[in-house]
């Protein structure tokens, strides 16, 4: 079994939207296609990969370090000893050859792109959806066919007032989402509270008996706040009973998170900008997070891929956290398969932005904030027509 070719390219997902920290006007994504010598349906098996929004394309790292290592590897060193298939763990070790510990900033993204493509190919070779393969290999019980998703949006952009924000959130509810998320932190506290209250008034029209509108709304500061600002927002958010308050401060400021956890007793979410299992361990040691209510958002496409994500889940188990506390960042179909196959609590969704990478298979509408997985082999990118059109444009 061999890898015949690895194709890679850079595409733009430029947009005028902004969160509290960055705008997306120059955002790019790396994409790869790993072509194997395995033939299925008279065609070679190809594994596809990309990374999530928020980090730029890693063309230099891929070209100079990671692609040469994989291309130069001997075929016998990338094959699973127990199966007639590629071995993602051996391949991961090859990719990380001669890399020092630490420094999990950008190389984790480059490795994550390739890891996704490898797992897509592995599941296709076994002719199984990735979620089923994960359940079988890692003894996680029954693979779920439906997964909870929430709609992430509510970005700032020029000329977008409260009326347009409310209209956007109403649109997500009409698409079948029950839980929505909006950005905070790029405006003043008083302005943000006006935005939040306007969305809550809209949500109140859609809640079920016994629910509160706050239980349907998450807010995300994208790491913008210092401790005093984070606490000031917490005081205003506390009475609202929000679904969660996300990433108030810098992702590595565990002291800030710990202090905030002492002052705010509603759920937090964080972790999307942690890229190693060591960082996850430090978050759980020092961040004051509570396994009975808080959520972890590590994104496998940004964090060295599924191989490293499995190590993160091992860390969670050591700290008596459940995989159900994990709702990955990224809004992509790869993380959706991990949620279904590894017993995670759900997945982010981007119904309005970051296309064609955000979103799921064409034939899987959202109903009551749940989405079904298809039975397509691999990650099922072939069932997402706009994404496959992009892959074909760059790789055919």
Which are the contacts of 167, defined by CB distance < 8 A and separation ≥ 6?
Answer: none
Coil vs helix vs strand at 346: coil
**Residues 302, 303, 305, CA angle at the centre, nearest 5°?**
95
Nearest to 308 by CA among 109, 164, 162: 109
The CA distance from 115 to 138, in Å, is: 17
- Residue matched to tokens 């979103």: 359
The CA distance from 278 to 101, in Å, is: 10
Centre a 10 Å sphere on the Cβ of residue 175 and count the other Cβ atoms it contains. Answer: 14
The CA distance from 18 to 149, in Å, is: 22
Whether 189 contacts 160, CB under 8 Å: no
- As annotated, the active-site residues are 183, 329
Positive or negative, the CA dihedral 146, 148, 152, 154 is positive
Positive or negative, the CA dihedral 284, 99, 298, 130 is negative
The CA distance from 193 to 87, in Å, is: 50
Backbone angles phi, psi at 394, to 5 degrees: -90, -25
The CA distance from 210 to 284, in Å, is: 33
């Amino acid at each position: 079994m061999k890898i015949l070719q690895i194709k890679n390219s850079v595409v733009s997902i430029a947009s005028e939207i902004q969160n509290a920290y960055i705008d997306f006007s120059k955002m790019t994504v790396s994409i790869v296609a790993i072509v194997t010598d395995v033939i299925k349906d008279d065609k070679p098996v190809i594994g596809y990969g990309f990374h999530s929004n928020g980090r730029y394309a890693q063309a230099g790292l891929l070209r100079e370090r990671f692609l040469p290592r994989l291309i130069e590897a001997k075929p016998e060193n990338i094959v699973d000893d127990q199966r007639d298939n590629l071995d993602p763990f051996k391949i991961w070790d090859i990719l990380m050859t001669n890399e020092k510990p630490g420094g999990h900033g950008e190389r984790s993204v480059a490795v994550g792109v390739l890891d996704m493509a490898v797992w897509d190919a592995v599941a296709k070779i076994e002719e199984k959806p990735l979620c089923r393969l994960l359940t079988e290999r890692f003894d996680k019980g029954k693979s779920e066919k439906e997964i909870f998703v929430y709609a992430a949006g509510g970005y700032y952009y020029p000329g977008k007032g409260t009326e347009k924000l409310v209209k956007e959130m109403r649109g997500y509810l009409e698409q079948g989402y029950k839980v929505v998320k909006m950005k905070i932190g790029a405006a003043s506290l008083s302005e943000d509270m006006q935005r939040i209250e306007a969305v809550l008034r809209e949500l109140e029209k859609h809640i079920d008996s016994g629910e509160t509108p706050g239980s349907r709304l998450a807010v995300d500061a994208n790491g913008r706040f210092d401790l005093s600002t984070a606490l000031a927002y917490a005081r205003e958010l506390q009475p609202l009973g929000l679904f969660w308050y996300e990433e108030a401060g810098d992702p590595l400021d565990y002291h800030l998170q710990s202090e905030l956890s002492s002052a705010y007793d509603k759920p937090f979410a964080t972790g999307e900008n942690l890229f190693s299992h060591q960082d996850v361990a430090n978050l759980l040691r020092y961040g004051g997070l509570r396994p009975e209510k808080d959520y972890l958002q590590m994104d496998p496409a940004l964090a060295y891929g599924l191989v490293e994500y499995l190590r993160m889940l091992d860390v969670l188990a050591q700290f008596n956290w459940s995989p159900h506390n994990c709702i990955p960042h990224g809004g992509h179909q790869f993380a959706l398969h991990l949620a279904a196959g590894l017993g995670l609590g759900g997945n982010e969704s981007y119904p309005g932005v970051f296309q064609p990478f955000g979103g799921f298979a064409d034939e899987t509408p959202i109903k009551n904030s749940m989405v079904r997985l298809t039975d397509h082999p691999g990650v099922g990118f072939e069932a997402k027509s706009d994404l496959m059109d992009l892959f074909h444009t760059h790789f055919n």
